[in-house]
Homo-oligomer: A and B are copies of this chain.
Amino acid sequence: MCLEIIEKLAARGLKKTPQRRMLLKVLSQSDRHLSAEEVVARIKVQQPGISVATIYRNLNKMVEMELVSKLDLHDGPARYEIYKGHHHHLVCLGCGVALKIGICPLQGHIKKIIEEYGFRVNDHHFEVTGHCQKCQQEAKTDTRLPAI
């Protein structure tokens, strides 16, 4: 899985470094988005010398190349996952999970209207925050005392 990505890097003239291999391995083995610091922590288990700057630098490069995608909410660190096509997320404020949704607002109708404004679209962000089913359930059955 990440072998192919490493080859894509090489095809574009980038070196196959152990740091890049580990970065891709960690991302592809995760079942959720990871922040740069989380990636570093996981790599440190095997390569304690890994530097955060290296991870940020490579994440940026890979996002640019569309090998990795970045989920940047308006608070906390950005989080990354292996690129698997354009999509958006429902981000849970309770558990932090980012549920993939197939719907993109920049299709058909809305896209057409935007282009009628004479605006040339370059990129877009669409993020929905709220609570996932599990966190709604937990809130209902929660017997803990309120935080005040």
Q: How many residues of A contact B (CB 8 A)?
A: 32
8 Å CB contacts to B: which residues of A104-148? 105-106, 110, 113-114, 117-133, 136
Tell me, in angstroms, the Cα distance from A118 to B92 when the chains sit together.
12
A99 close to chain B: CB less than 8 A: yes
**Given A101-B114, A103-B110, residue A124 in contact with residue B126 (CB < 8 A):** yes
Tell me, in angstroms, the Cα distance from A128 to B78 when the chains sit together.
19
Tell me, in angstroms, the Cα distance from A121 to B110 when the chains sit together.
21
A10 close to chain B: CB less than 8 A: no
8 Å CB contacts to B: which residues of A78-108? 78, 90, 92-93, 99, 101, 103, 105-106
Copies in the complex: 2
Whether A125 pairs with B124 at a CB distance below 8 angstroms is no
Whether B126 pairs with A119 at a CB distance below 8 angstroms is no
Q: Given the complex, which residues of B lie within 8 Å of A118, measured CB to CB? A: 132-133, 136
A57 close to chain B: CB less than 8 A: no
**Given A72-B74, A74-B72, A103-B110, residue A131 in contact with residue B120 (CB < 8 A):** yes
For residue A74, give the distance in angstroms from its CB to the closest CB of chain B.
5
Binding site for B on A (CB under 8 A): 72, 74, 78, 90, 92-93, 99, 101, 103, 105-106, 110, 113-114, 117-133, 136
